[in-house]
A and B are shown apart, each in its own frame.
Chain A
Amino acid sequence: MIRYIAASLLLLLVWIGVAQAAIETFNYANDAERERFQALTRELRCPKCQNQDLADSNAPIAADLRREIHRLMEEGNSNEQIIDYLVARYGEFVMYRPPVEKRTWLLWYGPAAFLLIGFCIILIVVRRRRHEALPSHVQLSADEQARLASLLEKKNS
């Protein structure tokens, strides 16, 4: 029994490990539709795979979903409708482009904020460095001046 389970597990692993191109032959109304299909399947994630989009996955579920998307497109659905349809069934997990909402604000706007803050810091650093052009303590005090003069005299004599 154990051996049987092990064998079926192994088979399952092999099935997951299949790495080959998912190539199918759909007919499209025109080239724009073809490109739309390609763009759509590249933005959607295969729900059962490790990390592959629908266009490239060879898993049976991905093939089913590609057929489904093709059918929905032929029925005249818009991209949004198709995505909504898939999200309703498989959750937001299928979207490679996470929606902009409260919990993804950090994700979408964080880098821009980081960049802006960084630029401000650079400006501050540069301002400070510019004002340091002649820092006060580089100029010698009266005592030091006197000592320097005496040293120079010693050297010259």
Chain B
Amino acid sequence: MIPELGHLALILALCMAVVQSTFPLLGAWRGNQQWMGLAQPAAWGQFTFLLFAFGCLTWSFLTDDFSVTYVAENSNSLLPWYYKFSAVWGAHEGSLLLWALILGGWTFAVSIFSRQLPEDMLTRVLSIMGMISTGFLLFLIMTSNPFSRLLPQSPVDGNDLNPLLQDVGLIVHPPMLYMGYVGFSVAFAFAIAALLGGRLDAAWARWSRPWTLVAWTFLGIGIVLGSWWSYYELGWGGWWFWDPVENASFMPWLVGTALIHSLSVTEKRGVFKSWTVLLAIAAFSLSLLGTFLVRSGVLTSVHAFASDPTRGVFILAFLLVVVGSSLTLFALRAPVVKSQVSFGLWSRETFLLVNNLILVVAASTILLGTLYPLIIDTLSGAKLSVGPPYFNALFVPLMVILMMALAIGMLVRWKTTPLRWLQGMLVPVLIASVVLGMLAAFMLGDFHWAVLAACSLASWVVLAGLRDLQDKTRHKGWIQGIRSLSRSYWGMQAAHLGLAVSALGIVLSTQFTAERDLRMAPGESVELAGYHFVFDGTQHFEGPNFKSDYGTLRVSKDNRNVAVLHPEKRLYVVQRSVMTEAGIDAGFKRDLYVALGEPLEDGAWAVRIHIKPFVRWIWLGGVLMAIGGLLSMSDKRYRFKVRQRVSQSLGLKEAQV
């Protein structure tokens, strides 16, 4: 009964979405207030029904209703309750429902927090989001209904959740990622609504910027969680493989990064409007493309969790409709009158263009590398692989240029900057960063050019940030000056610091990793990079739905105990699959990482030992960037109360601010 109610709620949500995407838009076009008024209630109704449907599916999981096909395939009575809960989005159908729910949630949030927008603008935004929602709900109901039943022969017990997904990281990772993907639909909807309404101006950029920042932040957190999960769960010691599915999440993030920068120029100076609109369309289209790649099975990936050609065709068609119609609209309505804003070569405008160029080229490179095997296969039938060596070779130089430009971009001013002043600001920074880079490269161990470059670049970015801080506070003194800086300024500083920290983490952990695969019998020990590892053998132990060989390694350095590590080898009984749980001692300066391979004779095991210096910094940088996003988003100027006050004091109507 409950699943049927859920199914019904899905259909009702679709009806709501159809209403939300048609009448209000027509109303905004014809100036019909009543039809425009339908947008909000429809959005709320849609969200309520989706919430209800999601609740029904969750209930089916928690009560072990194995007559529901999706539950039978992805759950088991032995599964702990929290994994039963996260199993709701453990496979294609449920994760798509989560996607739709989050889209409904975003729409709801827009209708609440952007109430102060001019009515026609808000109506159009909600309508566009309704259209996207209609597409996804149709997809869900027509090709991937999570509520379909296995009747009359329903199984006694379920097939269990994929053991890879039985992990805390994977409870949180997909929702975060979807919050990001779907969040870009808001930026997209604002861009399309602005095109439709013919008001592509600084106000539009200001309205859509906080939403874009939130989406970007969530996507970043999602990517960081995914990378961290693959590091500790897969037992391979890596954290990024340039797999098509990883790329699918990284491309919208890169374009989103370009978008938040370009929005800031459009907001503050009113230039590059068309370009910003294009970026908003691109960010969302890449999110959709990611969905297509992951769910259609056209690309081979370790993540390929649902490959079904009919689904692929549906998403591809949807993608083409979205991209095609929005680009057509862009061609028809993009601003014809050029803005009369001038700026010089050494201006923030120019450097934000450079930022956008590099980020877009980086995203295109990844797109090219991801799709190239597909293109070659279609054209000539040859099988080709494009993997990490290619992506590293092209992506790393781009990031080097990005970081070089970043520091200058932080210091230059809007419109134009006196070159002499800029030299005065940057030459000391340049000297200091080269010196710091050299010091670090010689002190950290063997000399590598990569380390010298990374340390210099990171110092270049961080010191330029400090220099800017010094310049911004020169009139008021440090304490007073620092307090008067806006949150979005601190957000910018935090995010740029995050980039430097990540870059350091990536290069240092790659260059200085010490790695051994070896046979270890109980009592045997090995010395690696100054650390002494003693293997104490394994014990057998039984989890709720798995059997485990639980290893113990004691680690000491200079006769002091450092850590006791417990790598595990688990056999998940229902799916008969073997999983590695790495034993990790996490540290600010290094991680000790141990994984078990195969059992050998006499209680000995094949053991993998890694020492990874600064590997945490990779994710720490990601977290800093996310904090930066949140800080910027919470800046005073995006809060409506302030705007109301300002508009009242100026004697304007709210809508015009």
Q: Which residues of A contact B (CB under 8 A)?
A: 14, 17-26, 38, 42-43, 45, 49-53, 55-56, 91-98, 103-104, 106-107, 110-111, 114-115, 118-119, 122, 125-126, 129-130, 132-133, 135, 138
Chain B residues within 8 Å of A53, by CB: 387-388
Whether B383 pairs with A125 at a CB distance below 8 angstroms is no
| Interface presence of B376 (CB below 8 A) | yes
Interface-lining segment among B21-29, B33-41, B467-475, B511-519: B511-519
A92 touches B383 (CB 8 A): yes
> Which residues of the other chain, B, contact A21 by a CB distance below 8 angstroms?
234-237, 580, 582, 595-597, 608
| In the A-B complex, the 9 residue pairs with the closest CB atoms | A23-B597, A96-B387, A21-B235, A97-B389, A93-B383, A118-B357, A25-B519, A111-B365, A20-B580
Determine which of B304, B364, B384 lies in contact with A92 in the assembled complex, contact meaning CB atoms within 8 Å. Answer: B384
Known contacts A23-B598, A111-B394; A56 and B368 CB within 8 A of each other:
no
Known A-B contacts A25-B606, A43-B389, A98-B385; the reply to A107 vs B575 at CB < 8 A is no
**Chain B positions 314-371 with a Cβ under 8 Å from a chain A Cβ:** 340-345, 349-350, 353-354, 357-358, 360-361, 364-365, 368-369
Chain A contacts for B164, CB-based, 8 A: 17, 19
Q: Is B140 an interface residue (CB 8 A)?
A: no
Question: A107: which B residues are within 8 A, CB to CB?
Answer: 368-369, 372, 386, 390
CB within 8 Å of A: which B228-252 residues: 234-238, 241, 243-244
The closest CB in chain A to the CB of B581 belongs to: A20
> CB distance B344 to A96 under 8 Å?
no
**CB-CB < 8 A to A95: which residues of B?**
385
Q: Decide yes or no whether B569 CB sits under 8 A from chain A.
A: yes
Closest to A138 in B: B340
Chain B's closest residue to A118 (CB) is B357
Residues of B within 8 A of A (CB): 162-164, 234-238, 241, 243-244, 300-302, 304, 340-345, 349-350, 353-354, 357-358, 360-361, 364-365, 368-369, 372, 376, 380, 382-390, 393-394, 398, 515, 517-519, 569, 575-580, 582, 595-598, 600, 606-608
User: Would you call B580 and A51 a contact (CB within 8 A)?
Assistant: no
Identify 22 residue pairs between A and B in the complex whose beta-carbon atoms are under 8 Å apart, listed by A's number.
A17-B577, A19-B164, A19-B302, A19-B577, A20-B569, A20-B579, A21-B236, A24-B597, A25-B518, A25-B519, A50-B300, A51-B301, A56-B238, A93-B385, A98-B384, A98-B385, A111-B365, A114-B361, A118-B361, A125-B353, A130-B345, A132-B340
Judge whether B238 and A133 touch: CB under 8 Å. no
Q: How far is the CB of B565 from chain A (nearest CB, A)?
A: 14
Asked if B369 contacts A129 (CB within 8 A), the reply is no
Partner of A111 from the list B364, B519, B608 (CB cut-off 8 Å) is: B364
Q: Which of A94, A111, A130, A133 has the most CB of B within 10 A?
A: A111
A3 to chain B, nearest CB (A): 13
Chain A residues whose CB sits within 8 angstroms of the CB of B607 once the complex forms: 23
A48 to B180, CA, bound (A): 33
Instruction: Give chain B nearest CB distance to A88 CB in angstroms.
Output: 15
Would A23 and B596 be within 8 Å (CB), given that A14-B577, A98-B390 are in contact? yes
Closest to B238 in A: A56
Cα-based distance from A146 to B453 in the complex (angstroms): 63
User: Which chain B residue shows the least CB distance to A27?
Assistant: B518
Task: Tell me whether A96 and B385 are in contact (CB under 8 A).
Answer: yes
**Cross-chain contact B387 with A45 (CB below 8 angstroms):** yes
Structural contact, A122 and B353, CB atoms closer than 8 A: yes
| A107-B390, A115-B361 as given contacts; A38 in contact with B515, CB under 8 Å | yes
Question: A21-B234, A25-B517, A98-B385 known; A115 and B358 CB under 8 Å?
Answer: yes
Residues of B within 8 A of A122 (CB): 350, 353-354, 357
> Separation in Å of the A52 CB from the closest CB of chain B?
6
Chain B contacts for A115, CB-based, 8 A:
357-358, 361, 398
From residue B233, how far is it (CB to closest CB) to chain A in Å?
Answer: 8
Q: How far is the CA of A17 from the CA of B345 in the complex (A)?
A: 55
Residues of B within 8 A of A55 (CB): 236
* Contact between chains at B518 and A111 (CB < 8 Å): no
Question: Quick check: A126 and B345 within 8 Å, CB to CB?
Answer: yes
Measured CB to CB, the nearest residue on chain A to B351 is: A122
Least CB separation from B344: chain A residue = A130
The answer to whether B368 touches A129, judged by C-beta atoms less than 8 angstroms apart, is no
A-chain residues with CB within 8 Å of residue B597 when the two chains form the complex: 20-24
Identify which of A26, A94, A104, A129 contacts B517 (C-beta below 8 A).
Answer: A26
**A119 to B405 alpha-carbon distance, docked (Å):** 13
Q: Are the C-beta atoms of B384 and A14 separated by less than 8 Å?
A: no
- Which chain B residues lie closer than 8 Å to A135 at the CB level? 340, 342
Q: Which residues from chain B contact A91 at a C-beta distance below 8 Å? A: 383
* Assembled-state Cα–Cα distance A135/B241 (Å): 51
Given A14-B577, A114-B361, A133-B342, are A23 and B350 neighbors across the interface (CB < 8 Å)?
no
Report Cα–Cα, A111/B390, bound state, in Å.
12
Q: State whether A130 touches B576 (Cβ < 8 A).
A: no
**B-chain residues with CB within 8 Å of residue A93 when the two chains form the complex:** 383-385
Instruction: Report the minimum CB–CB distance from B180 to chain A (whole Å).
Output: 23
With a cutoff of 8 Å between Cβ atoms, the chain B residues found around residue A45 in the complex are 385, 387
Interface pair A129/B598, CB less than 8 Å apart: no
C-alpha gap A55/B600 in the complex (Å): 19
Kindly state the separation between the CA atoms of A91 and B238 in the bound complex, as whole angstroms.
26
> Provided the pairs A17-B162, A20-B580, A126-B343 are in contact, do residues A50 and B234 lie with their beta carbons within 8 angstroms?
no
User: In this complex, which of A92, A107, A110 has the most chain B Cβ atoms within 10 angstroms of its Cβ?
Assistant: A107
Q: Which residue of A lies closest to B343 (CB)?
A: A129
Q: Check B302–A126 contact: CB distance below 8 A.
A: no
B388 CB contacts on chain A under 8 angstroms: 42, 53, 96
Distance in Å: Cβ of B434 to nearest Cβ of chain A:
25
Which of B237, B387, B575 sits near A97, CB closer than 8 Å? B387
CA distance A55 to B606 in the complex (A): 14
Which residues of chain A have C-beta atoms less than 8 A from B595's C-beta? 21, 23
Q: Is the CB of A97 within 8 A of B368?
A: no
The CA of A45 and the CA of B373, in the complex, are separated in Å by 14
By beta carbon, the residue of chain A nearest B365 is A111
Within the complex, what minimum Cβ distance (angstroms) separates B304 from chain A? 6
Contact A96 B372 (CB under 8 A): no
CA distance A146 to B390 in the complex (A): 66
Chain A: minimal CB distance from B300 (Å): 5
Apart from the given pairs A93-B385, A107-B372, A111-B364, 13 other A-B contacts in the complex at a CB distance below 8 Å: A17-B162, A20-B579, A21-B595, A23-B598, A23-B607, A43-B389, A51-B241, A92-B385, A93-B384, A98-B386, A104-B384, A122-B354, A126-B344
Q: Min CB distance, A116 to chain B, in Å? A: 10
- Give Cα A114 to B356, complex, Å: 13
- For the complex formed, measure the closest distance between the CB of B271 and the CB atoms of chain A, giving whole angstroms: 8
Tell me, in angstroms, the Cα distance from A12 to B608 when the chains sit together. Answer: 27
CB-defined contacts of A97 to chain B, threshold 8 Å: 387, 389-390, 393
Closest chain B residue, CB of each to CB of A91 = B383
Give B396 Cβ to nearest chain A Cβ, in Å: 12
Return chain B residues, CB-CB under 8 Å to A126. 343-345, 350, 353
Set of chain A residues within 8 Å of B596, measured between Cβ atoms: 21, 23
